[in-house]
Structure 1
């Protein structure tokens, strides 16, 4: 990568963040982007806070080495378990002129605007649910909103094994939708708080009551990033704009390219990053 290139970095523990990158690129195609998937150490959802923090920081530092002035943690687990420490403890000494943002804050800033009943559901990995990050952040912006969480541990394996369109996936999708709605039948808005889950969105819509609003994060994060860049012109000016896309994985590039095409929606050719 050219020393003059200062792309926007997008990080995820695996493939899911590509659904976010896809929406960001659609909204802001002029910028350069470098995507890093830590596929060799995925999944993050079952790992401890400390492990996720150290893995995420290591990958953020690699993206800084690629010239990134701004990095998006397009991973709910990393956003929940690592973002705050990186922002508060590491950036001031490691790279005070650079920024790291997550996917939880943009979503929680707007989720209450979609609900008429004041009852919303959050579907996520066990790690994200356990962190209670969504409960804490939504409370800041919509203190009167009732939020119900449901962990869906089988959904990521279903997606990553190519079973997201299979009849077998119907059972697990309906099981968790039913469990969520059992907490409150008045839930009218459901947030997909994992970047893998948009690949299951058709089945989720079928399992949810008619009229339920299903929110995936990609478009919300893309809108938030556009707003952030507009509000920080000094940072925006440093981001290179050649429309270049670079993909990196810590695991097999052949495997990554095959799977990434499903998430990103078009062919991907990646390079290997050894940690």
Structure 2
């Protein structure tokens, strides 16, 4: 068995680095390749077809780099491209490769975090409009009522490093208030975008302290551990050594300047 394959982690930009940080923290021995499609980010307002095409191009690039397993650490790509890739592209062209997303792992456990069965989901327009969280959560917890709120200004604020400035308060409060107005007894809010954990300090102020704010990094990391335990045939192909490579479709210098905010450490990227 050729056990040299890195784990691929894909995002439309920087946000997936928050998931990567959690995965690498829990699975430090594996090799990883991260790809951010910054040149075409953000994905949130694109059509299903465009997001599918962009995501597939990036997944195939990671396959060409030797990845047998790719994590879509992007809610929009998971919502709009994952199922088609899994059902159409992998069986026909890549039967020995696997692509996983971030929506299903979260839906499988979200019932553990609510007593009122009223859950809020905050995400990009693309993720919210896809209805993916409503459908997936309903499969596992049909008793839970999901209230969604799109937050189109949050990703631009974060990617321009303005998310902790006072000027961001208006947009944080606007979307949080709009969500709470949908149901006063929401007791769990899912941050359904991997950028949003960077807003946690402001979100804890804007939302009632009775609400559990749920980020996806640790959930996705634990789900990956469970997946590898269930699929030793995949785990045996993965390379070990703790090597981390970073690539971007945009400008590597700009990527490196912003990426450390998400990853929690300095890094050096290359052009894909």
Same fold (TM over 0.5): yes
Residue 7 (structure 2) aligns with:
8
1:113: Cα distance to partner? 1.1
1:214-225 matches, cutoff 5 A: 214-225=213-224
d(CA) in 2 for partners of 1:124, 1:4: 37
Q: Name structure 2 gaps, 5 residues minimum.
A: none
After superposition, where does 1:199-238 map in structure 2 within 5 Å? 199-238=198-237
- Give the superposed CA RMSD: 0.9
SS of alignment partner, residue 157 of structure 2: helix
Deviations 1:247-274 (A, max 9, x none): 000110000001111100001100101x
Secondary structure of 2:222 counterpart? helix
1:109 is matched with 108
Deviation at residue 93 of structure 1 after TM alignment: 1.5
Shift of 1:170: 1.2
Partner-residue secondary structure (3-state), 1:271: strand
Corresponding position of 1:100: 99
Match of 1:132 in 2: 131
Distance 1:174 1:142 in 2: 29
User: How many angstroms does 1:4 deviate by?
Assistant: 6.9
Q: State the distance in 1 between where 2:228 and 2:170 align.
A: 42
Q: Secondary structure at the match of 2:214?
A: strand
Task: Tell me the residue number matched to 2:61.
Answer: 62
**TM-score of the aligned structures, taking structure 2 as reference length:** 0.98
1-structure distance, mates of 2:42, 2:211: 29
Render the CA deviation track for 1:218-264: whole Å, top value 9, x for unaligned. Answer: 01000000010011011001000110000000110000001111100
Query: 2:4–2:237: 8 Å Cα contact kept in structure 1?
Result: no
Task: Return structure 1 stretches of 4+ with deviation > 3 angstroms.
Answer: none
Equivalence map 1:110-189=2 (5 Å)? 110-189=109-188
Q: CA deviation at 1:211?
A: 2.3
8 Å CA contact retained: 2:3, 2:237: no
Q: Could you tell me how far 1:147 is from its partner in structure 2?
A: 0.5
Deviation at 1:6, TM superposition (A): 0.8
Deviation at 1:40, TM superposition (A): 0.6
Q: For residue 196 of structure 2, what is the aligned residue in structure 1?
A: 197
8 Å Cα contact 2:3/2:236 also seen in 1: no
In the alignment, which residue of structure 2 is the partner of 1:248? 247
Question: How many residue pairs end up in the alignment?
Answer: 271
Distance 2:199 2:252 in 1: 25
Q: Distance in 1 between matches of 2:145 and 2:134?
A: 9
1:251 is paired with a residue whose SS is coil
TM-score normalized with structure 1 length: 0.97
